[in-house]
Structure 1
Amino acid sequence: MKKRRMSDQKRTALSAYLFISPFYILFAIFGLFPMIFSFYLSFFRWDGLTPMEYVGFSNFEFIFSDPAFFSSIKNTFLIGIMGTLPQIIVALFLAFALNSQLVRFRNSFRTLVFLPYITSIVAVAIIFGVIFNNQPFGFANYVLSFFDIGPIRWNAEYWPVKIAIATMVFWRWVGYNTIIFLAGMQSIPKDLYEAAKIDGATILQQIRHITIPMLRPVIMFVVFTATIGSLQLFTEPLIFLGRGLREEGITVVAYLWRDAFVYNSFGSASAAAIVLFFIIIVLTTINFLITSRIGKSKKVG
């Protein structure tokens, strides 16, 4: 009987592992193996066709001597800060408004806010191609003409490129973060807000002393995902700048993509990916240390 019971337990455990095995199998094939292979490939010179040639740390020496690589890192940080920080702040206020009685037709507004996230990236490219067109009839240049500002070459000048891409990132992802914040706010007891209103707390005081402390885990999640997403920015620069990927707007992921699939230099592309991997680890650790302190010293109520 004991052996049969143990056998039944093993069969139950085996069934559970079989049910969850597809995820781990797919992750091992399409996630874990490419990561391990990238580490391996970073020490070789390979164009995808000819035999690999071991070159040691030459690929790392190449990217660290390439000014375009440092430009890509700088662009990634600047665009990430310009597109992510305002996005999180605006998303927090939008979620607070949608969770309160300040906005009528809240369900409709929730749908509209989330719509950019599910919009086709091709449609996004067309929209922002019109908005940030270099010609005087482009929407942004047309608006600036009312302030006696001449046409700006949005895809060719240093700061305009970053502003355009950061605006695209902001518009596309602010709704997603709003819904995440909104889900977190809906778990906060409404009694806290009612008590704060009775005590005469303003909306900003409610957000500062109730919403932010209670949303600390959600804020940590949003900051982590937004940071990692900003460091992996690729689609927006590629769509806005085209395959040329001018140095004013190229990001790290776009840089390694260009090395791999335009220049057929998979070794240097893998080396850039490894550097990006360690940058993400460092920034994620810093984010954890900072966001873990948010709301700790606040007293709710």
Structure 2
Amino acid sequence: MSKAKAMNIKAKTNAIGWSFIAIAVIMICAFYFYPMIKALMLSFQSGTGTNLHYVGGDNYARLFKDQTFITALKNTFIFLIIQVPIMIVLAMFISVLLNDSKLKFKGFFRTAIFLPAVTSLVAYSVIFKYLFGNDGLINSLLTNLHLIDAPIQWITDPFWAKITIIIAITWRWTGYNMIFYLSALQNIDNSIYEAARIDGASAFRQFRAITIPMLKPIILFTSITSTIGTLQLFDEVMNITKGGPGNSTTTLSQYIYNLSFKYTPDFGYAATVSYGVVILIVIFSILQFRLAGDKNG
């Protein structure tokens, strides 16, 4: 076969390959990269509605003076540093229990714990709002058990409203993360545990010396995805507390929504806050890679 003919065949092969992915590439560029670039350009503009004008970096300077943004940032951090570690540990613990070969009805328990992850966000948020209402099931149960004398203001008290949101997102996403840990546990060779038992290692020692190191990639993955999800938290806050009382549960994503659709529309500043979230996601992802010792992070 001549060199020219070989090159012609290679060119045709490449053309066929590109034709298969061309539509996907066009769609990704149109619906992902173009909006990202457009939002970045928008973040340097300001004005009401679509009546925008270029303001340079004023929007980014405004972030540090915006008390509502700072409050939303603090609230988001509180949800992040409290809820994510609890959820990760809980998901890991449940997955270890459900991976026990002696446990009966494992399929039922796995399905039951995972089901919240596929429940409608709006539906479950509304249910939680009624469950944690002043005369809801939770207060009634606690009162009947004589654990409280008066109903807890789960929705209208700043502290308890945060607790309600943390409980809600932990209930929904623990099962989702559990699936990743369960899959990873099932790929660990059981002979490793058998060797450890022969050497006299306790169950806790096995968990600390074998299970956790083996799960390190999954721990990193779930930590990053959970961090990203919490930084983008919107549905639960919007449907359960509406950011209240006051702004005590307002998150960054809800503030972006408010800037765009609730207050006098300021799409330029909303885009700036959006890129603030992007920067936070990048920073936290890099930190988690570094803390996990991943040299590629």
- If the length of structure 1 is used for normalisation, what is the TM-score? 0.90
CA contact (8 A) 2:237 2:243 kept: no
Offset of residue 2 of structure 1: 2.5
Q: Give 3-state SS (helix, strand or coil) of 1:70's partner.
A: helix
For residues 266 and 132 of structure 1, do their structure 2 counterparts lie closer, same or farther at Cα, with a shift above 3 Å needed? Answer: same
For residues 271 and 151 of structure 1, do their structure 2 counterparts lie closer, same or farther at Cα, with a shift above 3 Å needed? Answer: same
Separation of aligned partners in 2, 1:284 and 1:239: 28
Partner residue of 1:254? 254
Offset of residue 46 of structure 1: 3.6
Partner residue of 1:298? none
Partner residue of 2:99? 99
Partner residue of 1:81? 81
Partner residue of 1:25? 26
Separation of aligned partners in 2, 1:86 and 1:75: 17
Q: Give 3-state SS (helix, strand or coil) of 2:206's partner.
A: helix
Offset of residue 147 of structure 1: 1.7
Partner residue of 2:11? 10
For residues 243 and 249 of structure 1, do their structure 2 counterparts lie closer, same or farther at Cα, with a shift above 3 Å needed? Answer: closer
Partner residue of 1:296? none
CA contact (8 A) 2:84 2:227 kept: yes
Q: Give 3-state SS (helix, strand or coil) of 2:113's partner.
A: helix
- Counterpart residue type for residue 221 of structure 1: F
Q: Does residue 272 of structure 2 align to residue 271 of structure 1?
A: yes
Q: Which runs of structure 2 are paired with 1:53-92 in the superposition (5 Å)?
A: 53-92=53-92
CA contact (8 A) 2:243 2:250 kept: no
Structure 1 unaligned regions, length at least 5: 294-301
Partner residue of 1:229? 229
CA contact (8 A) 2:156 2:245 kept: no
Answer with 103-112 or 164-173: which moved more: 103-112
Spell out, residue by residue over 1:26-73, the C-alpha distance to the aligned partner (whole angstroms, 9 max, x if none): 2222221222112111111143433x2112223223332221111101
Partner residue of 1:200? 200
Separation of aligned partners in 2, 1:54 and 1:109: 56
- Counterpart residue type for residue 142 of structure 1: S
Spell out, residue by residue over 1:136-180, the C-alpha distance to the aligned partner (whole angstroms, 9 max, x if none): x21222233222342222222221111111111111111111001
CA contact (8 A) 1:42 1:268 kept: yes
Answer with 247-256 or 284-293: which moved more: 284-293
For residues 245 and 258 of structure 1, do their structure 2 counterparts lie closer, same or farther at Cα, with a shift above 3 Å needed? Answer: farther
Separation of aligned partners in 2, 1:158 and 1:59: 29
Offset of residue 101 of structure 1: 1.9
Spell out, residue by residue over 1:116-141, the C-alpha distance to the aligned partner (whole angstroms, 9 max, x if none): 111112321232112211x2x21222
Partner residue of 2:191? 191
Partner residue of 1:119? 119
Structure 2 unaligned regions, length at least 5: none
CA contact (8 A) 1:156 1:246 kept: no
CA contact (8 A) 1:92 1:181 kept: yes
Offset of residue 102 of structure 1: 4.4
CA contact (8 A) 1:220 1:292 kept: no
- Counterpart residue type for residue 180 of structure 1: F
Partner residue of 1:143? 141
Q: Give 3-state SS (helix, strand or coil) of 2:103's partner.
A: coil
CA contact (8 A) 1:231 1:252 kept: yes
Separation of aligned partners in 2, 1:48 and 1:106: 54
Partner residue of 2:165? 165
Answer with 41-50 or 213-222: which moved more: 41-50
- Counterpart residue type for residue 138 of structure 1: G
Separation of aligned partners in 2, 1:219 and 1:22: 35
Q: Give 3-state SS (helix, strand or coil) of 1:79's partner.
A: helix
Separation of aligned partners in 2, 1:287 and 1:118: 27
- Counterpart residue type for residue 192 of structure 1: I
- The sequence identity of aligned pairs, in percent, is 35
Offset of residue 184 of structure 1: 1.1
For residues 17 and 244 of structure 1, do their structure 2 counterparts lie closer, same or farther at Cα, with a shift above 3 Å needed? Answer: farther
